[in-house]
Amino acid sequence: MAETKNAPKKAPAGGEQIKAASPLKALFPIIAIAICAIVAHVAFYGFFGHYSNFEEGAEKEKAYEEWVANGMVGDQPPRANEGHPITFWGIIYKGGVVIPIGITLMLTMFTFTIERGITISRASGKGNTDVFVKKIRNLLAKGQIDEAMRLCDQQRGSVGNVIKAGLRKYKEMEENPHMDKEQKKLAIQTELEEATMLELPMLERNLPILATTASLGTLVGLIGTVIGMIKAFLALGTGGAPNAAQLSVGISEALVNTAIGITTSAFSILFYNYFTTKIDGMTYAMDEAGYSIVQTFDVRN
C-alpha cells in the first residue's frame, strides 16, 4: 500500500498520466489584477499627475517644494496638478480618484483578452478546424483509424484531442469481445463527452473576468460621473455667481469617467462575444466529429 499511495493516476481510457493542476493557474487572475491595479495607480499619480501636464506646472511645483523645504510656513501654494491641464494625460488626471479604478479595469480587460487570445489560438490547433473535421470524416469512411489518429496529432488542438480520445476508444471497442454493440457505442460516446468536458474548462477559464469588467466598467464610470456632477452642482449652488472653474472641473471629471467606463465595457463585451463564438465553433466541431465516429462504428461493426 505504501508504494502505490503516491503513484501517478492514469487516465481511464488513454493510459496517459493526468498532470496535477498548477497552482499558478489558480493564482494568475489574482496576481494579474493586483499588478494591473498597481500599474494603474502608479500611472495615475506618477505620470498623469506629473507637473508637465498642467499649465505653469514647473513653476507651481517648484514653489510647492520650496514651501515644504521651508517647514510649510505661510500659505500653501497650489500644486501643479491643481492647475488647468494642457495635455490629454492631464485631462484624465482631472477625472478624480475613481479614474485609477477605471484604468485597473481597462488594463485587466486587455490583460485577459491577450491571455484568452493566446490560449484559444493554441487550442484551435493548426489549420482550419472545418477542413480538419472533413478530413477526419473522410478517413473514418475509409476505415483508416490510425491515419485519423495521426492527423489528430498533427492538428495539436482541443478538437484533435477530443477526436483522438474517441478514436482510441473506437479501436478499443473493436477489440472488445465482451460487450454488445450498443454498449460499445455508449462507451465511445461517453469517452467523447468526457474528453470534451476536460477541454472546455481550459477554453472558458477567465472568461467570467471579461464579463465582469463589462459590467463593472460601466458602474465605475457611472460612479465617477455622479461624483463629477455633484461637484458641478455644488459650484452652481454657491452664493453669488457660479464658479466657472469648479463647474468645468466637475463636468470634465464626469465626462472622463464616462468615457473610460464606456470604453472598457464596450471592448469587454466585444472580446467576450468573440471568444465565446470561437469556443462554440470548436465545440460544434467536436460534436460533429464525435457523431461521425459513433455512426461509423455503428455501420462498420
Per residue in 51-94, pLDDT (tens digit) is: 899 888 888 888 888 888 888 877 888 888 888 888 889 989 98
128 & 46 share domain: no
Q: Enter the pTM of the model.
A: 0.81
85 & 129 share domain: no
Residue 78 lies in a domain: yes
pLDDT at 23: 66
260 & 180 share domain: yes
Q: What is the mean pLDDT of the chain?
A: 85
- Cell digits of residue 57: 506646472
The band of 240, judged by pLDDT with boundaries at 50, 70 and 90, is: low
pLDDT at 261: 94
The band of 9, judged by pLDDT with boundaries at 50, 70 and 90, is: very low
What angle do helix axes 158-174 and 99-124 make, rounded to 10 degrees?
40
Determine what percent of the chain is predicted with pLDDT higher than 90: 44
pLDDT at 6: 45
283 & 179 share domain: yes
Q: Is residue 61 helix, strand or coil?
A: helix
Residue 15 lies in a domain: no
Domain boundary among 65, 94, 123: 94
Residue 16 lies in a domain: no
201 & 268 share domain: yes
- Please name the helix (run of DSSP H) or strand (run of DSSP E) that holds residue 36, with its range, or none: helix 23-42
Q: Is residue 216 helix, strand or coil?
A: helix
- Cell digits of residue 59: 513653476
Q: Which domain holds residue 273?
A: 105-300
Residue 112 lies in a domain: yes
pLDDT at 243: 62
Domain boundary among 37, 66, 94: 94
185 & 156 share domain: yes
Total residues belonging to the chain:
301
Residue 15 has pLDDT above 70, yes or no: no
The band of 192, judged by pLDDT with boundaries at 50, 70 and 90, is: very high
Residue 12 lies in a domain: no
Residue 176 has pLDDT above 50, yes or no: yes
135 & 244 share domain: yes
Q: For the segment 112-135, what is each residue's pLDDT rounded down to a tens digit?
A: 999 999 999 999 888 888 899 899
Q: What distance lies between CA 221 and its chain's CA centroid?
A: 20
Residue 3 lies in a domain: no
CB 48 within 8 A of CB 93: yes
Q: For the segment 20-63, what is each residue's pLDDT rounded down to a tens digit?
A: 556 667 788 999 999 999 999 999 999 999 989 988 888 888 88
The band of 181, judged by pLDDT with boundaries at 50, 70 and 90, is: confident
159 & 288 share domain: yes
**Local structure of residue 53 (DSSP, 8 states):** G
pLDDT at 231: 81
Nearest alpha-carbon partner for 175 in 134, 145, 135: 145
Number of domains in the chain: 2
10, β-bridge pairs: 17
pLDDT at 115: 94
Residue 17 has pLDDT above 80, yes or no: no
pLDDT at 82: 82
CB 11 within 8 A of CB 21: no
Residue 5 lies in a domain: no
**Local structure of residue 52 (DSSP, 8 states):** G
- Interval 279-291 mean pLDDT: 91
User: What are the start-end ranges of the H helices in 70-157?
Assistant: 88-93, 99-124, 129-141, 145-155
Nearest alpha-carbon partner for 155 in 182, 179, 126, 178: 126
Residue 1 has pLDDT above 50, yes or no: no
User: What are the start-end ranges of the H helices in the chain?
Assistant: 23-42, 57-69, 88-93, 99-124, 129-141, 145-155, 158-174, 181-204, 207-237, 244-300
Residue 11 lies in a domain: no
201 & 290 share domain: yes
Q: For the segment 99-109, what is each residue's pLDDT rounded down to a tens digit?
A: 999 999 999 99
